[in-house]
């Protein structure tokens, strides 16, 4: 998985079609499982069976694809003139620009729409109108290897200086990778934004324009280049060649002292017997005031109509029971306030609390910009050069800013 964030009325009984004619809704969804045993198909099959039992005149036809394929599959369906009624995917802004999607206002009950976590609902907006409905969310925290930290006699870092000192101590103890900095093409946009936020910057400025080469971001990457990479405190390869999956695998082998991670790293580490701890992302002066939040999106295409049926089904999808069931199955964060409140109070979900606590202070990618896909691709290709020997943080970030402005102007 590359991507990752109620008090709703569950309508039952007669359905909403108003007649006996059967309506079939097509839903394309992403698979969050890592095996056949926990494939998302099982989740959807159970949910659809329950819904159809109360709505005999509505059928839900669900196709589940891997994250490697789902966005491409939906693009192909749209290009062929046969979009699904609903698609649960990684981005939505391109379809908004093509005027293909229903607004959330057109579909959801007021209670459902009002129940979305505020940051996630806002990230689903284009020009103040919500089109992307958050479906799954996650945040990032700093993971550290408790065994390696104890051996080095150090405590988890709160600031950048602490992190550098801890990395030096780990290096002195022979730890192979004191800090894993994955700026490789798999998910460099995530690690980049996490560090930008910790330095008081981000991809955008206060008026929602791109601000990639802001003084804060230049300072952040200058520090990374000089105080971490330049002192040989990262590895095992150059950051621009290190992908997230490889960094996680290194942590699970006990070779990495610290790295930024999302909830799925917990299972990977525990499976390998790694004793780990989690703390908020260190910032320039202390714990970062904001962290990276990631959401995947539910969208609804207008071409086939069926607005009432789609809206009623989505109200059911976003019921507290169903949001909690999905979040618990895949160690993700609920996208509704009601389910978040239940999770925060439930002992069975205590392992997710560090991430849940970060959600309200999280910032998401600027996914409402149709230019973001191009900008993200450029970041993946270029950002590693900013911390490479002889590299120029200001030069690389300036190049990315210019590319972002061109992409934005082309929209």
For residues 307 and 319, state if they share a domain: yes
Q: Report yes or no on 10 lying in a domain.
A: no
pTM: 0.84
For residues 352 and 373, state if they share a domain: no
For residues 38 and 149, state if they share a domain: no
Q: Report yes or no on 373 lying in a domain.
A: yes
For residues 373 and 339, state if they share a domain: no
For residues 147 and 264, state if they share a domain: yes
Q: How distant, in Å, are the alpha carbons of 173, 199, 208, 288, 348 from that of 159?
A: 21, 10, 27, 8, 31
Q: What pLDDT, in 10s, does the model give residues 124-151?
A: 999 899 999 999 999 999 999 999 999 9
* Number of domains forming the structure of the chain: 2
Show the CA angle centred on residue 194, arms to residues 372 and 164, nearest 5°.
150
Tell me what the mean pLDDT of segment 176-196 comes to: 95
For residues 59 and 47, state if they share a domain: yes
Give the end of a domain, one of 334, 356, 378.
Answer: 356
Q: Report yes or no on 326 lying in a domain.
A: yes
For residues 371 and 346, state if they share a domain: no
Looking at residue 91, what is its pLDDT?
86
Residue 17 pLDDT exceeds 90: no
Q: Report yes or no on 309 lying in a domain.
A: yes
Long-range CB pairs of 145-153, under 8 A, 24+ apart, other chains included: 145/251, 145/254, 145/256, 145/257, 145/258, 145/274, 145/275, 145/276, 146/275, 146/276, 146/277, 147/254, 147/274, 147/275, 148/173, 148/175, 148/254, 148/257, 149/257, 149/277
Q: What pLDDT, in 10s, does the model give residues 245-278?
A: 899 999 999 999 999 999 989 988 999 999 999 9
For residues 347 and 374, state if they share a domain: no
Q: Report yes or no on 178 lying in a domain.
A: yes
For residues 260 and 163, state if they share a domain: yes
For residues 149 and 229, state if they share a domain: yes
Name the least confident of 16-20, 230-234, 284-288.
16-20
For residues 174 and 81, state if they share a domain: no
Task: Assign residue 250 the CATH number of its domain.
Answer: 3.40.190.10
Q: Report yes or no on 17 lying in a domain.
A: no
For residues 389 and 272, state if they share a domain: yes
Residue 312 pLDDT exceeds 70: yes
Q: What pLDDT, in 10s, does the model give residues 368-405?
A: 898 998 899 899 999 999 999 999 999 999 999 999 99
Domain that holds residue 121: 23-137+294-356
Q: Report yes or no on 334 lying in a domain.
A: yes
């Amino acid at each position: 998985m590359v991507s990752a964030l109620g008090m709703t009325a569950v309508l039952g009984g007669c359905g909403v079609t108003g007649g006996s004619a059967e309506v079939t809704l097509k839903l394309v969804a992403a698979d969050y499982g890592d095996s056949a045993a926990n494939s998302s198909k099982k989740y959807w099959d159970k949910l659809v069976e329950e819904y159809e039992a109360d709505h005999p005149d509505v059928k839900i036809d669900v196709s589940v694809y891997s994250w490697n394929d789902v966005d491409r599959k939906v693009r192909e369906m749209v290009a062929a003139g046969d979009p699904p009624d609903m698609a649960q995917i990684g981005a939505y802004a391109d379809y908004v620009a093509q005027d293909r999607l229903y607004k959330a206002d057109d579909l959801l009950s007021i209670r459902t729409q009002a129940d979305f976590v505020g940051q996630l609902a806002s990230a689903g907006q284009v020009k103040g109108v919500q089109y992307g409905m958050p479906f799954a969310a996650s945040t990032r925290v700093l993971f550290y290897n408790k065994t390696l930290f104890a051996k080095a006699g150090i405590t988890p870092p709160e600031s950048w200086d602490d992190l550098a000192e801890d990395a030096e101590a780990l290096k002195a103890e022979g730890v192979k990778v004191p800090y894993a900095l994955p700026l490789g093409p798999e998910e460099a946009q995530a690690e980049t934004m996490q560090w930008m936020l910790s330095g008081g910057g981000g991809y955008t400025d206060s008026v929602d324009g791109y601000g990639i080469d802001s003084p804060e971001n230049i300072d952040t990457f200058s520090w990374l280049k000089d105080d971490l990479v330049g002192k040989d405190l990262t590895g095992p390869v150059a950051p621009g060649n290190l992908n997230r999956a490889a960094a996680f695998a290194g942590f699970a082998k006990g070779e990495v002292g610290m790295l930024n991670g999302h909830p799925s790293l917990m299972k990977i580490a525990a499976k390998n017997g790694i004793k780990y701890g989690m703390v908020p992302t260190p910032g320039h002066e202390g714990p970062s005031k904001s962290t990276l939040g990631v959401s995947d999106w539910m969208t609804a295409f207008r071409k086939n109509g069926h607005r009432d049926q789609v809206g009623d089904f989505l109200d059911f999808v976003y019921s507290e029971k169903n949001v909690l069931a999905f979040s618990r199955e895949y160690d993700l964060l609920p996208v509704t306030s009601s389910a978040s409140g239940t999770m925060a109070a439930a002992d069975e979900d205590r392992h997710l609390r560090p991430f849940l606590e970060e959600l309200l202070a999280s910032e998401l990618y600027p996914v409402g910009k149709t230019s973001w896909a191009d900008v993200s691709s450029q970041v993946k290709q270029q950002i590693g050069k900013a911390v490479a020997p002889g590299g120029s943080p200001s030069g690389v970030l300036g190049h990315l800013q210019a590319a972002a402005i061109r992409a934005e102007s082309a929209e």
